[in-house]
């Protein structure tokens, strides 16, 4: 007989038909007449209730049916007496596939702290919370592809190992085949990369943008969606050393078009979650954050506030609130400033544009004022920066000038500069941090809880 997933079973009318269900035991309770076993197979947050009539089963036979054990249950689907569930399975046979010793299985019935669960990242998908998060994560990844596919964007796979530092921030993980302890040295005492696999210094990508720009100069509208690595301070609830980023890049887009796309994209994703993940969202809403659903609905229904960095500085300087970090024109905004704008002042998502050139990357288009660039950050409640993007500098001369000023190696970037030499066009793009999006959609408070196996300083156990 073919196995039916619990999600499907729960949608089937109780007709007495036979079903075969396989999954993991969440709880077992009952009395001498009847035993109730809650089984979950991950297809949905809901368990299926398996009812064992104790005139048919012995205690001995159900001894190994304990929390965490895997079971295969054959039985008939009947109307449930219990409230909150439509059907249950009247068991005919219950086979234990794998036991889970109650003495040592860490996920017993009681609630567990998220901190504790982080230490058992290999088992936490078996909890309601992580099941919900992982299903939502899947749905959001699917929605990303659906959104861009519907719009005629092409998915481009950019390299993980690269020789360039796309953000110019020097926050890279080195990749080398040389002995890290005793690398070969040149006569002048520098590391001799000629013996390295690539013959030069390489690193894990910090962004697929540059390769994305190159490809958009041929296919017009593309996006990347892949793992991204940053050796920056990841000891915060908003940073990971390895995160996933979605980076659309569009030829013939100016900053306004870029903002329109970013806003539409974010609303689409949140609406997709509301339309397709309600069971999981409802659980997270009830369990952790009673405002979650109303916050998601608000974002879908309201326009984002758009303003310039300079206007934002005026708001912040005039704010009654005392900030830990002082704000003045020219300084980068800290998360406390971003959150003030979003949560206290405008009370809605904010798109900030036209930042000072000195706090942004070399590739952003210079404004006529010579001081600001056509940057765009999208700020979200509870998160701060969720998207970073810009219109790109399409002029060869201006880009080279900017690279020289900022010490970006012009010679090694010849291929990038070629896009400006041959058929350059105005173009724009942005990067959405996938885990930042998930923080917002799930309402979870720590970015380590929205990725299955988080990478942060000293984390790599497996």
Residues near ligand 4AD (CB under 6 A) are 166-167, 207, 209, 230, 232, 234, 239-240, 243, 245, 247, 385-389, 429-431, 433, 435-436
Using alpha carbons only, what angle is made at residue 152 by residues 151 and 155, rounded to the nearest 5 degrees? 110
The DSSP bridge pattern shows strands 18-30 and 70-79 to be antiparallel
Q: Quick one: 316 or 375, whose CB is closer to Mg ion?
A: 375
Q: Quick one: 232 or 254, whose CB is closer to ligand 4AD?
A: 232
Least Å distance between CB 360 and Mg ion? Answer: 8
Terminal CA-CA length for the chain: 37
Least Å distance between CB 424 and Mg ion? Answer: 24
Using alpha carbons only, what angle is made at residue 55 by residues 49 and 58, rounded to the nearest 5 degrees? 80
Which of ligand 4AD, Mg ion, none does residue 436 bind (CB under 5 to 8 Å by kind)?
A: ligand 4AD
Which of ligand 4AD, Mg ion, none does residue 127 bind (CB under 5 to 8 Å by kind)?
A: none
Letter string b/e over residues 184-219, b meaning 16 or more CB atoms within 10 A of that residue's CB: eeeeeeeeebeebeeeeebbbbbbbbbbbbbbbbee
Q: Give the residues lining the site for Mg ion (CB under 5 A).
A: 388
Which of Mg ion, ligand 4AD, none does residue 454 bind (CB under 5 to 8 Å by kind)?
A: none
Q: Pull the structure tokens for residue 323.
A: 């900030």
Least Å distance between CB 161 and ligand 4AD? Answer: 17
Least Å distance between CB 205 and ligand 4AD? Answer: 10
Least Å distance between CB 446 and ligand 4AD? Answer: 12
Q: Quick one: 21 or 437, whose CB is closer to ligand 4AD?
A: 437
Which of ligand 4AD, Mg ion, none does residue 65 bind (CB under 5 to 8 Å by kind)?
A: none
Q: Quick one: 381 or 388, whose CB is closer to Mg ion?
A: 388
Q: Pull the structure tokens for residue 368.
A: 């006529």
Q: Quick one: 349 or 388, whose CB is closer to Mg ion?
A: 388
Which of ligand 4AD, Mg ion, none does residue 384 bind (CB under 5 to 8 Å by kind)?
A: none
Sorted by sequence, the CB contacts under 8 Å of residue 61 that are 6+ apart come out as 94
Asked if residues 333 and 311 have their Cβ atoms less than 8 Å apart, the reply is: no
Q: Quick one: 47 or 205, whose CB is closer to ligand 4AD?
A: 205
- The residue nearest Mg ion at its CB is 388
Least Å distance between CB 391 and ligand 4AD? Answer: 10
Angstrom distance (rounded) from CA 273 to CA 302:
17
Q: Pull the structure tokens for residue 290.
A: 């009673």
Asked if residues 168 and 406 have their Cβ atoms less than 8 Å apart, the reply is: yes
* Runs of H (alpha helix) within 165-254: 209-219
C-alpha distances in Å from residue 71, one per residue of 24, 36, 40, 206, 458: 6, 14, 10, 44, 36
Least Å distance between CB 415 and Mg ion? Answer: 24
* Runs of H (alpha helix) within 288-339: 292-301, 309-317, 335-339
Q: Quick one: 64 or 232, whose CB is closer to Mg ion?
A: 232
Which of Mg ion, ligand 4AD, none does residue 389 bind (CB under 5 to 8 Å by kind)?
A: ligand 4AD
Which of Mg ion, ligand 4AD, none does residue 433 bind (CB under 5 to 8 Å by kind)?
A: ligand 4AD
Least Å distance between CB 251 and ligand 4AD? Answer: 14
Angstrom distance (rounded) from CA 207 to CA 164:
10
């Amino acid at each position: 007989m073919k196995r039916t997933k619990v999600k499907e079973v729960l949608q089937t009318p109780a007709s007495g038909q036979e079903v075969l269900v396989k999954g993991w035991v969440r709880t077992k309770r009952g009395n001498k007449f009847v035993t109730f076993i809650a089984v979950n197979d991950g297809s949905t947050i809901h368990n299926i209730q398996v009812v064992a009539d104790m005139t048919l089963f012995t205690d001995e036979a159900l001894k190994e049916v304990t929390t965490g054990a895997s079971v295969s249950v054959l039985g008939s689907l009947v109307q449930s007496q219990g409230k909150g569930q439509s059907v249950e399975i009247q068991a005919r046979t219950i086979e234990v596939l794998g036991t889970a010793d109650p003495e040592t299985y860490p996920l017993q019935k009681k609630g567990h702290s998220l901190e504790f669960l982080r230490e058992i990242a290999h088992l936490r998908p078996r909890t309601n919370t992580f099941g919900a998060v992982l299903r939502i994560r899947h749905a959001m990844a699917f929605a990303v592809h659906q959104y861009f596919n519907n719009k005629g964007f092409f998915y481009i796979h950019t390299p993980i190992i690269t020789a360039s530092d796309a953000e110019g921030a020097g926050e890279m993980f080195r990749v080398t085949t040389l002995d890290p302890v005793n690398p070969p040295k040149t006569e002048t005492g520098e590391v001799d990369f000629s013996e390295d696999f690539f013959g030069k210094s390489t690193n894990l990508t910090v962004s697929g943008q540059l390769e994305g720009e190159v490809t958009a100069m041929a296919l017009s509208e593309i996006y990347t969606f892949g793992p991204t690595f940053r050796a920056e301070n990841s000891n915060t609830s908003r940073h990971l050393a390895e995160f996933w980023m979605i980076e659309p890049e569009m030829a013939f887009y100016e900053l306004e078009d870029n903002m329109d796309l970013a806003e539409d994209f974010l609303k689409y994703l949140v609406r997709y979650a509301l339309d397709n993940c309600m069971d999981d969202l409802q659980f997270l809403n009830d369990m952790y954050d009673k405002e979650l659903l109303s916050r998601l609905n608000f974002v879908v229904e309201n326009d984002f506030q758009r303003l310039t960095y300079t206007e934002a500085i005026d708001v912040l300087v005039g704010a009654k609130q005392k900030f830990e970090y002082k704000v003045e024109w020219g300084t980068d905004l800290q998360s406390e400033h971003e959150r003030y704008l979003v949560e206290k002042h405008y009370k809605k998502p904010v798109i900030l544009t036209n930042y000072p050139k000195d706090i942004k990357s070399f590739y952003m288009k210079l404004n006529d004022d010579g001081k600001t660039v056509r940057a765009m950050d999208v700020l979200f409640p509870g998160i701060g920066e969720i998207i970073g993007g810009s219109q790109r500098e399409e002029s060869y001369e201006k880009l080279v000038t900017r690279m020289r000023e900022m010490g970006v190696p012009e010679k090694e970037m010849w291929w990038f500069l070629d896009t400006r030499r041959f058929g350059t066009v105005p173009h724009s793009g942005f990067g959405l941090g996938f885990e930042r999006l998930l923080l917002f959609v799930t309402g979870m408070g720590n970015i380590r809880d929205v990725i299955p196996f988080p990478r942060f300083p000293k984390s790599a156990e497996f």
